[in-house]
Amino acid sequence: DYNIWVCAHLDVVPVGELSLWNSDPWRVVEKDGKIFGRGVEDNQQGLVSGVLAALSFVKQHIIPEHTIKLLFMADEEVGSTYGMNFLLKEHRDLFSKNDRILIPDGGDAKGETIEVAEKNIAWFRFHTIGKQCHGSRPDLGKNAKLAAAELALKVHDMKNVFNKNDPLFDPPYSTFEPTMQLQNVAGINMIPGDDVFCADCRINPCYSLDQVRKELSLRVKEVEEKYGVKIEVSEAQAEQSLPTPVTAPVVTELAAAIKAVHGIEAKTIGIGGGTVAAGLRNLGFNAVVWSTMDELAHQPNEYAVIKNIAADALTIAYMASC
């Protein structure tokens, strides 16, 4: 026998620019068949669908063919250290290799895509140490910003080394994107001796993170030697993920449930974003990511469509009944 797991996270991301919201993001607003508020789609929609699926059996005094188990986790948005990763380290026996594990933390407006694979993720932090000086005398310093700028371009260019496409993903290629920049000097006329920036890298699974690290270290060394600076590299996150086979029971049975409830043919995809499915897959648990959503996560005026919540609950209940 096996269980039907619905695993959702409780934490939400910050609001962002408050002026872009049409309502208070911390107060639920129902309008036009939608529920608005921060976190209502990511990930409270999936959480509620799981609860409704289980509650429907309880209210009708029906014992389903397979037990629905609900798991609500912490800190998915910041690495899952105290959420799924903790559970997989300390309480791995919660799960059975035969369980059907559903992560309702991604999807599309039709509910037709079943996510079975994720790109490898690496978040790098680059601390460039040079020598500060006056803006009129760059010859007396070592411009950490200039060195970091060249390194950012070299990081971005790594897509031309790791250039194999995988049609399972959108986009189908690996991405190496410089992102967050920390403040360095306080004045325009100061050449910085210290600079920190970060890069978000999403790498197709055909490449290992060790391959990426090796190439990156060569590029860092080139910049250090050219500008006479020191660059410290650290990793805020690094995650490799095995795929769930498209023939796994959780995939085929979910596809059958989608056909029965939504009346559409499901298709399997991969995604660039990371979910808690990665940790499960790496330990041999076949997990899928699926939900019916308009993909408003992390955006202003985030909403969940009420009819989607109900339809997804019915889909989960269908899986538990078969």
Same domain, 196 and 259: no
Same domain, 66 and 153: no
Active site residue 75: no
- Average pLDDT on 188-208 reads 97
Same domain, 246 and 192: no
**Count of CA atoms in the C-beta half-sphere (13 A) of 290:** 32
Same domain, 226 and 280: no
Q: What is the pLDDT of residue 241?
A: 87
The DSSP element (H or E) to which 53 belongs, if any, is helix 46-59
Q: What is the pLDDT of residue 64?
A: 97
Same domain, 65 and 152: no
- Average pLDDT on 54-65 reads 97
| Residue 277 reports pLDDT greater than 90 | yes
Place of tokens 């769930």: 244
Instruction: Check 41, 42, 76, 115 and give the catalytic one.
Output: 76
Instruction: Check 11, 108, 150, 200 and give the catalytic one.
Output: 11
β-pairing, 287-289 vs 100-103, is parallel
Same domain, 167 and 273: no
Domain limits for position 23: 4-118+242-321
- Average pLDDT on 2-25 reads 97
Same domain, 166 and 124: yes
Q: What is the pLDDT of residue 239?
A: 87
* Domain boundary pick from 213, 239, 265: 239
Q: What is the pLDDT of residue 73?
A: 96
Residue 230 to residues 147, 148, 192, 216, 234: CA-CA distances in angstroms? 10, 10, 13, 15, 13
Active site residue 11: yes
Same domain, 113 and 247: yes
Record the pTM: 0.81
Mean pLDDT of the chain: 97
| Residue 229 reports pLDDT greater than 90 | yes
* Domain boundary pick from 239, 264, 288: 239
In the chain, the number of structural domains is: 2
Same domain, 172 and 249: no
CATH code for position 37: 3.40.630.10
* Model pLDDT for residues 67-103, shown as the tens digit of each residue: 999 999 999 998 899 999 999 999 999 999 999 999 9
* Model pLDDT for residues 239-261, shown as the tens digit of each residue: 888 999 999 999 999 999 999 99
* Domain boundary pick from 197, 214, 239: 239
Q: What is the pLDDT of residue 215?
A: 99
3-state helix, strand, coil in the chain (%, to 5): 35, 25, 40
Residue 304 to residues 24, 35, 102, 191, 257: CA-CA distances in angstroms? 15, 5, 18, 48, 21
| Residue 130 reports pLDDT greater than 80 | yes
**Count of CA atoms in the C-beta half-sphere (13 A) of 282:** 16
Q: What is the pLDDT of residue 197?
A: 99
